[in-house]
């Protein structure tokens, strides 16, 4: 079963001579309960593609379906509600709210969904514990290391129990050892929570942690490799 599927999706920026075809006629299927790496050189269209899968951006042509819902024709309000309850995001620069503590940052997506305070706190503390930050729950992002901030962001992305978590170069601002720890943590969380992660990277070293690899070049999907890690037949 797939958690997201794109059919013949294109997205360009600009007009005339300045037009850039960031994603060209891309068709992909993101399967349930997998760790998928979207890999390609800088400028190949990874962020554009993740924004389309994440319903942050809309395709010019083609169709996008997430968690069984065709999102193409959804109105903006409905789309942001859908996004808030079904998709978690992890960013390169962590994107935590600086005035909120770690636990408040993790609670934030639940606040948006109207979950009551006691339940929010319980969920957020359990997630911080799961990412190894039980002791740091009251600290603000400015009082945490880069790796710890990204752990908070992983906990936040999982707070609503999303069907799909999208991570755009989540290790780009970390040293390589911390980056490997963060990938391993995402892997563990993906398995334990039976959700799907899509992780973009231009670092070939991260490919070894993937179940499935989607290779993109100049906006076009050039290859999809399934079951890479487990050695199962594709």
Ligand X SMILES: Nc1ncnc2c1ncn2[C@@H]1O[C@H](COP(=O)(O)OP(=O)(O)OP(=O)(O)O)[C@@H](O)[C@H]1O
* Binding-site ranges for ligand X (CB under 6 A): 13-14, 20, 22, 40, 42-48, 202
Indicate which single residue of 5, 47, 150, 160 sits in contact with Mg ion (rule: CB under 5 A): 47
**What are 2's strand-pairing partners?**
31
Which listed option, ligand X, Mg ion, none, makes contact with residue 43 (CB within 5 to 8 Å by class)? ligand X
Q: Is 94 left (phi over 0), alpha (psi -120 to 50) or beta?
A: left
Residue 30: Cβ-neighbour burial (10 angstroms; 0-12, 13-18, 19+): buried
Q: Is 160 in the site for Mg ion (CB under 5 A)?
A: no
Contacts of 138 (CB under 8 A, 6+ apart): 101, 102, 103
Closest residue by beta carbon to Mg ion: 47
Asked if 209 touches Mg ion (CB under 5 A), the answer is: no
Q: How far is the CB of 115 from ligand X (least distance, A)?
A: 32
For ligand X, which is the closer residue by CB, 141 or 219?
219
Interacting span for Mg ion (CB under 5 A) from 4-12, 29-37, 40-48, 211-219: 40-48
Q: Which is nearer to ligand X, 153 or 216 (CB)?
A: 216
Shortest Å, Cβ 49 to ligand X: 7
Question: CB 44 → ligand X: shortest distance, Å?
Answer: 4
In three-state secondary structure terms, 6 is strand
Q: Which of 195, 114, 212, 113 is nearest to 161 (CA)?
A: 195
Nearest-approach distance from CB 176 to ligand X, in angstroms: 17
Nearest distance, CB of residue 123 and Mg ion, angstroms? 30
Dihedral pair phi/psi, residue 59, rounded to 5°: -70, 150
Alpha-carbon span 30 to 37, nearest angstrom: 10
42 vs 77, beta carbon nearer ligand X: 42
User: Do residues 190 and 202 make contact, with C-beta atoms less than 8 angstroms apart?
Assistant: no
Applying CB under 5 A, the residues found at the interface with Mg ion are 46-47
């Amino acid at each position: 079963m797939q958690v997201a599927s794109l059919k013949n999706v294109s997205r360009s920026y600009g007009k005339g001579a300045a037009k850039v075809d960031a994603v060209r006629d891309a068709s992909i299927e993101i399967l349930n309960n997998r760790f998928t790496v979207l890999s390609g050189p800088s400028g190949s269209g990874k962020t554009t593609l993740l924004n389309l899968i994440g319903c942050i951006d809309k395709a010019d042509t083609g169709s996008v379906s997430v968690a069984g819902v065709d999102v193409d024709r959804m109105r903006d309000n409905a789309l942001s509600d859908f996004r808030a309850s079904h998709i978690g995001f992890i960013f390169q620069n962590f994107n935590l709210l600086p005035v909120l503590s770690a636990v408040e940052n993790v609670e934030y997506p639940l606040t948006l969904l109207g979950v009551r305070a006691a339940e929010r706190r319980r969920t957020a503390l359990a997630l911080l514990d799961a990412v190894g930050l039980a002791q740091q729950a009251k600290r603000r992002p400015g009082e945490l290391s880069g790796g710890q901030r990204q752990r908070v962001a992983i906990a936040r992305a999982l707070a609503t129990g999303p069907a799909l978590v999208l991570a755009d170069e989540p290790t780009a601002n970390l040293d390589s050892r911390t980056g490997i720890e963060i990938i391993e943590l995402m892997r563990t969380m993906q398995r334990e929570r039976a959700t799907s992660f899509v992780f973009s990277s231009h670092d070939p070293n991260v490919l070894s942690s993937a179940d499935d690899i989607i290779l993109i070049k100049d906006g076009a999907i050039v290859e999809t490799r399934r079951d890479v890690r487990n050695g199962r037949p594709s």
